[in-house]
Structure formats: structure tokens, C-alpha cells
Amino acid sequence: MGHIVIVGNGISGVTAARHIRKLSNHRITIISGESDYFFSRTALMYVYMGHMSFENTQPYEPHFWTKNRIDLKKSWVNLIDHKDKKILLENGEIMAYDKLILATGSKPNKFGWPGQDLKGVQGLYTKQDLEQLEISVPNNKVCKRAVIIGGGLIGIELAEMLHSRNIPVTFLVRESSFWNSVLPDSESAVLNDHILSHGIDLRLSANLKEIHSNDQGAVKSIEIAETGEIIPCDFVGLTAGVLPQIELAKASGIATNQGILVNRFLETNIEDVYAIGDCAEQQDTLPHGRRSIEAVWYTGRMMGETVAQTISGHKIAYKPGHWFNSAKFFDIEYQTYGIVNNALNKPKSEMQMHWKHPEKNICITVSYDKNDKRFIGINTFGIRMRHEVFDRWLNEQRSIEFVLDHFVEAQFDPEFFHSYVNEIQLVFTTILSKSNL
């Protein structure tokens, strides 16, 4: 029976521990300096908004760990001695391992902006970030205005959080339209309007030049690079994406690039050392256009399940399948399945059809290959669909005509949600027939 040490108690590390326990009797230790217990990172916003307490973010009761013989160690790891298979903890303790899994996650991007380390400037990723947010931005009396830098998913979450406490928010987005680095222009335009409708001061094509300090070393304003405009503020949220946490691996002689380099079996260049989740970077090309680094909850879970099989004697390769994801932009739910490229990355072979409700912020974009009419992806906003149906159609390489004819099968509980299938089918069938002329 070997000792499996997992560094990081996020979804990747904990999933690996759970599945190793199901498959083996190995001794398992999870190490994290961030929190005592695994928690839902996506629920941090709801704690700040008062919808739940931090204790509610823990998916397992404290006795779960004892019952499943998973030891928890709250500490940071300073160094990995992979030659002697030992790790050095920050308190000086040395722990031996037989196999080591690095699930160290991500950290917010910083681009060397002057003032980026001032008091009142932070990201939103860890439990400590949430605690600091409560100190820096408890209400609109302490914070008269907040500025958010970066237009990704964390940025929109932070905007909603601050908005829930009636704190005025200026949102600096370097792109010409919100998230058009990911979305087709038609969908990005919908989000622009939706963000503005919530009273958010959305600034497009705007880059941060500098964060200015007051006499106490705290933020007092920001300066926009393009215009030189000074915006007074008491808080700056840095949400311009995340980077893999690789410092520990790099300092310990484990091969890294942007992330910790792994093969399809999630093995690093060091024997018996693995990396999973946000910190892992695939060296091999993945199928279905998947990226080498994917900082997404469900991919972390899948990597945890995969590495558990290998460690338990059933070596299998990581096969993520077709891309899917979900998010929320204030009150608009977003889902994506397969490939729907933005305007910059869309190849000539990819055709897209867009439908939008005439009054509501509800829209769908479907993409297909114009050469063989094969369905390749769909984005939905404000309409909940069934993932398993789209995944099956992608695996079966169904035609766009088949997808439109059977679109009703992908509805999510039409008893509780209004169906727009007839309207969508009519518009898309008309577009398709015209393109065939």
C-alpha cells in the first residue's frame, strides 16, 4: 500500500482522492494552505451576495474525510524533492510520498501595471480573496466606486457581486466588444447591452495604464491608457484571466511551459509525479480542437478521475471529448457545446446561423461545416438545453438538417421553460435553404 500525496484541494485533487479511494486501499493525503476543506470555488460569489454562507460551499460533511480515510493537511508546500520522493512543508515538516499529484490550480493574471499591488487591488479566485473583498468592499459607504479590469467570466461575476451591494462599477474591457475573443459578434453585442442595462459603466477598447495611490498606500484612482482619463475609485478588481500555478513545480525541477507539462496519461517528466486541473498543460494535441490548458471545473474533475484509474493500476489516457461549458452573465444563462468560433478564429468552412428573440436577451448560434453540412457546435443564451443530446449528435456527426429536425429533443424540461423550438426551426431552416440555392 503506497502513500498518495495530492497538493491542492480543489475539484481536481479531491476528485482524484475520492476515486483512488474507491479503487484502492492506498494511504491518501491532501495538502492545501488555502482552506481546511474542499469548497465550491464557483460559489464564492453567492457567499458575498448573501445567498449562502461559506460553510454551505462545502459539498461534504467533515466526517466524510475520516469515513473515506483521506487525511487533510492545511499547509503550503515549499519544495518537492523528487529524487528522494519527499516534500518540504512551510512549517519545516518533511512528508514522504510514493506517488505525487500536483493540483495547484490557477492564479490571477498581472501584467506589471504600476500600482497593481496596492491595498484595495486584488483578484477573485481563493477563499482569502473573498475574505479580503469583505474587508475592502463591505458596502457602498466604504467603496464609492469600484473598477474591474478584464472582461472574462470572473470579471462579470465580480461586477454582479459588487452591483448586488449597490456599489457603482466601471468595467474596463480591452476588446472592442465584451468577450468577443470567445463569442461571435452577435452574441457579444447582446452581452454589451445586457451589462449596460444593469447600470454597469462598461468601457470597451479600454486598457489600464496605472493604478494611483493615496497617502496611505491604498488605491485612489485608475488611469485609462487610451484617453488618459482618471477614474476615482476605492477598489480595483484584477480579472484579466488566470495563469497556472507552476512555481512549486518549476522550483523543484519539474518541466513547465505555461503550465506543468504532462502527457496524455497526466504524467510529468518526473516518474510518479502527475499534474491535473488548471495547472496542467498537455504536450500532445487533443482531439476536437481542445486546448492544451483548460481552467474549467469539469475538465479538472475528468482529470482527477483519469489519474485515479492510472494510480490504481488501470492506466488510461485523458480523453476530454467535445468541449462544453456553462456560465451566467447576471441573469442570462450561457451554455456551449462543440465548436462555435469568434469572428477572428472562424475558418472559412465554418458556417453560423444566429437567432435572437425580438424582445428578450435570448439567442442561439448554431455552427456547421459547409462542406459536409456536419453539425459542429452551438451556443445558447437564456435557453437551457440538454448536454447529453448535443454530445450524442456531435459523436454521431449528425447533419445540421438532422439537428434542426430533432431540435425539440434537446429542450430542457419544456414543462417548466417556454419553448422557442418552432421559432428557431423556422428561422434556421429558412437561412439554410437560402444558403443551398
* Type of residue numbered 343: A
What's this model's pTM, rounded to 2 decimal places?
0.92
Cβ-contact 125, 42 below 8 angstroms: no
Give dist(CA 144, CA 119) in Å, integer. 16
Q: Who's near 28: CB < 8 A, 6+ residues apart? A: 3, 4, 6, 17, 20, 21, 69, 70, 71
Q: Could you say which DSSP state residue 169 is in?
A: E
* Contacts for 255 with CB less than 8 Å, ≥ 6 apart: 261, 268, 269, 270
10 Å CB burial of residue 226 (0-12, 13-18, 19+) is: exposed
pLDDT at 413: 67
Regions in the chain scoring below 50 on pLDDT: none
* pLDDT given at position 415: 58
Q: What are phi and psi of 51, to 5 degrees?
A: -85, -20
Number of DSSP helices (H) and strands (E) in the chain, helices first = 11, 25
Burial 143-168 (b: 16+ CB within 10 A, else e): bebbbbbbbbbbbbbbbbbbbebebb
pLDDT value of residue 42 = 84
Instruction: Tell me how crowded residue 284 is: count the other CB atoms within 10 A of its CB.
Output: 11
Q: Looking at beta carbons, which pairs linking 384-393 to residues 24 or more positions away fall under 8 Å?
A: 384/333, 384/335, 384/412, 384/413, 384/417, 385/335, 385/337, 385/410, 385/411, 385/412, 386/410, 386/411, 386/412, 387/324, 387/335, 387/337, 390/324, 390/337, 390/338, 391/321, 391/322, 391/324, 391/337
Grid cell 419544456 is found at 414
Give Cβ neighbours of residue 136 (< 8 Å, ≥ 6 apart): 119, 120, 122, 142, 143, 234, 235
Cα(13)–Cα(165) distance, integer angstroms: 34
Terminal-residue alpha carbon distance, the chain? 67
Domains defined along the chain, listed by start? 3-107+243-311 (3.50.50.60), 121-240 (3.50.50.60), 324-435 (3.50.50.60)
Q: Which one, of 110, 100, 139, lies nearest residue 16 by Cα?
A: 100
